[in-house]
Amino acid sequence: MMAWRRWYPIVGSIGTVATIAGCAAIHHPPATVASIAAEAPAIRAVERATVDTIVARLARRILARGDHQLDILLLSGGGQNGAYGAGFLRGWRSRPSGAMPRFDLVTGISTGALQAPFALLGTAAALDTLSSLYRRGANRVAPTVDPFFWLRRTGGVLKIGRYRETIAQVFDMHMAAALRRLFDEDRQLAIGSTDFDLGITRSWDVATELAHGGPERFHVLLLASTAVPTLFPPVIVDGHVHADGGVISNLLPVLGLDEYRSLAARLAMAVAGGTPSVTVRLWVIMNLLTEPRPIVTDPASRGAIGARTETLLFTGQQPQLLNRLGELARAVSSDVPGLRLELHVTFIPPFLADDPGANALFDRDWMIRLEQIGYDRARGSSPWDRISPP
């Protein structure tokens, strides 16, 4: 599937195994369509409760900050192109003015899910570690083709043992302890995966998941969020098949208009004399190209038409996602008393779409270059982009 190969090359969307052990064949736990459908209301209720909990913590966080501001970071998927976001975060933190804030909520999809814990920690050491994961990905992380994939029936064609080991090494007990200290301050982390059985996005509140399942549970969810369909084995999470969160949405906004209304209502109840005036700054890093590169399409080739279709279907999501966020910002600012929503977006410069490395499954030189482009962009005079109509 060429579109997946192009847009989800490596570090950020290297997939997973159904069980943490080896290349064993994957099997769906016993289930029927009726049993899966019967579970849907309970799972949607859990999703609703997760979002409500995030909103409640954000309200407490606003009051604790005391400066009438809230900072939310959304990190998209994008595979090897996540090197841009890693470099941008590193450069943003080191800006002499307008430096990166301490985020109150960070969400991530696919490669963004891997970046999100480092962004929430926000230290120079954490962001240097993140950048190094992309720079050394070819030697330490890259998957290899499993020559016996057709026999193993893992649901993918690549072996991802090195990636799985890296997840366990980097997201260890020390990182879990550091994240828990931030969670105690009501700072939050959420990642998303796609439930293939129900066809929905699942939002995972990392504070809750760490509390219940420890780092091992977090590893499973990271593997699920980054499992590229057909290339990497999917993951069984709580009896359901999960894979790359970018299949449904390449961003995890978590909060919609109703949630911002709920946030304003909670603040009004907590503050005597009415709702305080709060500015929510929504920062978005798109770890991918938002426009397809022009090509000469062979109309007689079914393979070429199919690959181009997948690319266009996926690429077409990105400007629509950004425009919907722009509409949300306008709606919150005009219709939710006491809240003003600012939207700031950065994405990979479109002219880079023609670079040969941008269209590879994994290209070390491209990732090193892209990380530097992100770093320079963040430190430059114009780090944020204007959203164009889709």
pLDDT recorded at residue 139: 65
3-class state of residue 191 by DSSP: strand
Residues in contact with 320: Cβ distance below 8 Å, sequence separation at least 6, in sequence order: 390
Q: Please state the rounded mean pLDDT for residues 264-283.
A: 87
The rounded mean pLDDT for the chain is 87
Task: Please say whether the beta carbons of 15 and 141 come within 8 A.
Answer: no
**Eight-class DSSP state of 103:** -
Residue 133 CB neighbours (<10 A): 21
**Banded model confidence at residue 147, pLDDT cuts 50, 70, 90:** low
Range among 6-20, 35-49, 297-311 rated most confident:
35-49
d(CA 92, CA 301): 45
Buried b (16+ CB within 10 A) or exposed e, 231-264: bbbbbbbeebbbbbbbbbbbbbbbbeeebbbbbb
Give the residue ranges of DSSP H helices in 199-300: 206-225, 257-270
pLDDT digits (tens, 9 = 90+) for 109-128: 999 999 999 999 999 999 99
| pLDDT, tens digit (0-9, with 9 covering 90-100), for 69-78 | 999 999 999 9
Counting every residue written for the chain, the total comes to 390
pLDDT higher than 90, residue 17? no
- Interatomic CA distance for residues 306 and 315, integer angstroms: 14
Model confidence at 335: pLDDT above 90: yes
Percent with pLDDT over 70 in the chain: 87
- DSSP-assigned letter for residue 385: B
pTM attached to this predicted model: 0.90
Average pLDDT in the 343-348 region? 95
* CA distance to 230, 324, 334, 344, 383, per residue, from 329 (Å): 36, 9, 9, 10, 20
C-alpha to C-alpha distance for 163 and 10, rounded to whole angstroms: 9
Instruction: Name the residue among 106, 109, 46, 15 with its Cα closest to residue 238.
Output: 46
- Kindly indicate the confidence band of residue 1, based on its pLDDT and cuts at 50, 70 and 90: very low
Rg, Å, the chain Cα set: 20
- Model pLDDT, residue 85: 97
Alpha carbon distance 207, 97 (integer Å)? 31
| Mean pLDDT for the stretch of residues 325-343 | 96
The identity of residue 257, as a single letter, is L
Of the ranges 133-147, 229-243, 273-287, 341-355, which one carries the lowest mean pLDDT score?
133-147
Give, rounded to a whole angstrom, the gap between the first and last alpha carbons of the chain: 25
How far is residue 122 CA from its own chain's centroid?
Answer: 16
Question: Strands, DSSP E only, in 123-276?
Answer: 144-145, 158-159, 188-195, 200-205, 235-237, 240-244
Q: How confident is the model at residue 149 (pLDDT cuts 50, 70, 90)?
A: low
Kind of pairing, strands 144-145 and 105-109?
unpaired
